[in-house]
A and B are shown apart, each in its own frame.
Chain A
Amino acid sequence: MTLLAFAITYSGFFLLRLAASSYPTLSFTQKPPVERQVSLRLFGALLLALSCGLSVSAFGWALGSIFWPVLLTPMAIAVVLLPLYAPRAAVMLAVASPAFALAAELVSMI
């Protein structure tokens, strides 16, 4: 559950970043059009809300509400730094990590 929380927080911030600026690797040479911005923001916010829910269900309200904000910080920093040095890997991570974490979660449930 924790791994999944990490993964979707990163992906959520990544979508928010896509909405805010250009991303040449994805052939977004300029800021996306407004409708795309809105949907990216919505999806990003949705993932962050989901990570909040995951934190609370993993640690309970008391600890989860402390865990979630301090989880946001390093993931947001990763979304700032990673695209600067490894733009492709940053995209891959945003797509693959939630899938991987979800798979790991399912495997551990079995």
Chain B
Amino acid sequence: MAWLHTWSGLLVSWLLFAIFLTGTVSYYRAEISQWMRPELRMVEISAEAAASQAVARLEVVAPDARQWVIDLPTARTPETQMFYRRDPGNGPTFGRESLDPSTGLPAETRDTYGGDSLFYFHFDLLMPSIWGRLIVGFCAVTMLVAIVSGIITHRRIFRDFFKFRLRRGQRSWLDAHNVMGVMALPYHILIVYTGMVPLLYLYLPWGVDVAYPKGRAAYFQERGLSTPIPPPTGRAVPLVDLGAMVVKAEEQWKGGRPGRIIIYRPGDAAARVVLFRKRAETIGHRTRRLVFDGVTGNIVTGDEPMGPAVRTSAFFYGLHVAVFADQLLRGLLFFSGLLGTGVIATGLLLWSIKRRGRADGAGGSVGPGHKLVDRLNITAIVGLPVGIAAHFWANRLLPLGIADRAEWEVRFLFIGWLLIGIWSVCRSPTRAWIEGMWVCSVLFGLLPLVNALMTDRHLGNALMGGNGVFAVFDLAMLVTGVLVGCVSCALDRRRRTASAEKETGRI
């Protein structure tokens, strides 16, 4: 079983490290988006007011749209996000805008995708079409294999539960790998398993086909992700005010708040309005929704009970994205996610350390395969964090007016990553590790300074003004920078003593 663990792990771990790290960071997707749009301020606004603002705006921008989608502001998202779809032939088929609730006008922010870039990377690697999603799914299945074979290989899970030996070289790495894997084992299994649920229809659509012989649409309707809409009448009737619907929904949900509003065929006599419950209020993903008649404002379909399979899938989906978590639970989940990232990183290092030890013992040097693994390890483990830091730097430093600004922010992520990859080929592995980590440390450590120079939302203001998100973000960057710097220093010290010993040995 050990060989299965070794090779299934090695095969996908470089990518898996990136998927795990970006996924872990995405627990704070909304907060990252806030930091990347420093122009926006949090505004207290009622759901009714935000909904009418959005409708007023959409009536100006896309009165002829087939569908309007409005995501109301939450405690973690200051802006109202909306998008619309048009039937082909009358202009762009898709458009999106975000509104500043304090003015009701498009939010005047820098052009950025915010935390969404890292979030999308997590499940589609920012690749076109479905390729990225298929690759991520393959990695997830392989990780499940690695987890199960890892448990079987470990054998002494309970006896060695607390065992961690310091400064013992390969042993310490193995202990770290085991401790991080075992202590968060329920989380690892759960997160990898539930991670496949959101894209289940892509990976294994046949189960749905068997259970719903009339077609997948029936499944998505039961799941609450699509709504049967009557055909358009062509008669123009103004949309009823959404405020009353919001009040009705809150009555139905006993105080629960709506989060997303979808309006089908706005302005038509057959308009339908769907109110989804705020995602932070239910564990399951979009399990509660109400369908209203867009002209009379009456409820057409209530919260229909879902079947067990559909509920399970909604629950797993919700569990994976953890929008329901408050800041404490979110922090704990984030910590477990970091451990998962650590397990993958230490696993990769162990592969290399173990084989180097064997080669040294035999008096030989390591082969080309090993050299490749060393390079890829550095590129994966140091390169991506450097890329993320570069992404944040680009958000603050790129001129506001340039074309494709949001795209360029993402490009900087890959440029940073690529440069570390090139560097790892040019230098010896030990030096590349140390120097790469120095770059990483400096980039993260100086980010609060760059933020202070470029915006008025720096650490001092954030602390004085009691803005938790901006304060914690800057502090987290600072702490990351210092920690990575410390590791780099420790590695450098060890390299120097090792080379000094070699020198004296020769004399």
Report which A residues bind B (CB closer than 8 A): 2, 13, 16-17, 20-21, 62-63, 66-67, 69-74, 76-77, 79-81, 84
Contacts and interface: CB of A to CB of B under 8 A. Distances in A.
Interface in B99-143: none
Contact of A20 (B159, B180, B329, B335): B159
A70 B329 contact: yes
A66 to B, nearest CB: 7
Given A63-B329, A71-B332, A76 B283 contact: no
27 contacts: A2-B328, A13-B162, A16-B161, A20-B161, A20-B162, A21-B162, A21-B163, A63-B283, A63-B324, A63-B329, A66-B319, A69-B186, A70-B329, A70-B333, A73-B183, A73-B184, A73-B332, A73-B336, A74-B335, A76-B161, A77-B180, A77-B339, A80-B162, A80-B179, A80-B183, A84-B164, A84-B166
A13 B162 CA distance: 9
A21 B163 CA distance: 9
A73 B191 CA distance: 14
A48 B187 CA distance: 18
Interface string B152-167: 0000000101111010
Given A62-B283, A69-B187, A74 B162 contact: no
A28 to B, nearest CB: 14
Nearest to B315: A62
Q: Which of B161, B179, B180, B339 has the most C-beta atoms of chain A within 10 angstroms of its own C-beta?
A: B161
Q: Which of B159, B162, B283 counts the most A-chain CB atoms under 10 A from its CB?
A: B162
Interface in B327-348: 328-329, 332-333, 335-336, 339
Contacts of B319: 66
B336 A79 contact: no
A73 B335 contact: yes
Contacts of A74: 332, 335
A77 B187 contact: no
Contacts of A20: 159, 161-162
Contacts of B159: 20
A80 B178 CA distance: 12
Nearest to B161: A20
B162 A16 contact: yes
A104 to B, nearest CB: 16
Interface size class of B (residues with CB under 8 A): 20 to 34
A57 to B, nearest CB: 16
B328 A17 contact: no
Nearest to A21: B162
Interface of B: 159, 161-164, 166, 179-180, 183-184, 186-187, 283, 319, 324-325, 328-329, 332-333, 335-336, 339
Sorted nearest first, the 7 A-B pairs with minimum C-beta distance are A70-B332, A17-B162, A73-B184, A76-B183, A69-B186, A80-B164, A73-B183
A73 B187 contact: yes
Given A66-B329, A73-B339, A84-B164, 9 more contacts: A16-B162, A67-B329, A70-B333, A71-B332, A72-B183, A74-B335, A77-B179, A79-B162, A80-B179
A60 B180 CA distance: 28
B183 A67 contact: no
Contacts of B329: 63, 66-67, 70
Contacts of B335: 70, 73-74
Given A70-B336, A71-B332, A77 B183 contact: yes
B323 to A, nearest CB: 13
A23 B184 CA distance: 24
A38 to B, nearest CB: 15
Contacts of A21: 162-163
B179 to A, nearest CB: 6
Nearest to A74: B335
A100 B35 CA distance: 36
B183 to A, nearest CB: 5
A71 B329 CA distance: 8
B164 A81 contact: yes
A2 B332 CA distance: 13
A73 B272 CA distance: 46
A73 B337 CA distance: 11
A88 to B, nearest CB: 17
Nearest to A69: B186
A21 to B, nearest CB: 7
A15 to B, nearest CB: 11
A84 B180 CA distance: 16
A81 B159 CA distance: 17
Contacts of B333: 70
Nearest to A77: B183
Nearest to B333: A70
A63 B332 CA distance: 13
